[in-house]
Amino acid sequence: KAGVTQTPRYLIKTRGQQVTLSCSPISGHRSVSWYQQTPGQGLQFLFEYFSETQRNKGNFPGRFSGRQFSNSRSEMNVSTLELGDSALYLCASSFYPAGERATEAFFGQGTRLTVV
């Protein structure tokens, strides 16, 4: 059974550009959550999607957005990139949405975004 797949693994962008990251969850999982990880801040929750609907959103500016498709694949987009957006972006998939039932969340390998 394939794990969570994130593409691309590495990305270098210039300030002001936008970027789209992709996440394919484990087959059968309908919940996808996105996190930003930086050395000083740890894992910061961005948003969660379940069955194409955003269920939760973290405390990030509107430049960060996401969506989920009918096959449960999810994308997140960051517009007008800033230097501080440089981070490892992780997605996690689970069978049930967060908080509804005891469930395990499995992470992808992440996308390392560098903004220059």
Partner 1 sequence: GQQLNQSPQSMFIQEGEDVSMNCTSSSIFNTWLWYKQDPGEGPVLLIALYKAGELTSNGRLTAQFGITRKDSFLNISASIPSDVGIYFCAGSPLSGNTPLVFGKGTRLSVIA
**Sites of contact with partner 1 (CB under 8 A):** 4, 6, 33, 35, 42-43, 45, 48, 55-56, 58, 88, 90, 92, 97-100, 102-110, 112
Minimum Å gap between C-beta 110 and partner 1 is 5
| Closer residue to partner 1 in complex, CB, 18/51 | 51
Minimum Å gap between C-beta 32 and partner 1 is 12
- Report yes or no: 37 and 88 within 8 Å, Cβ to Cβ: yes
In the chain, the amino acid numbered 75 is: E
Helix (H, G, I), strand (E, B) or coil at 17: coil
- Which DSSP letter does residue 26 get? P
The distance of Cα 36 from the centroid of its chain, to the nearest Å, equals 8
Minimum Å gap between C-beta 102 and partner 1 is 4
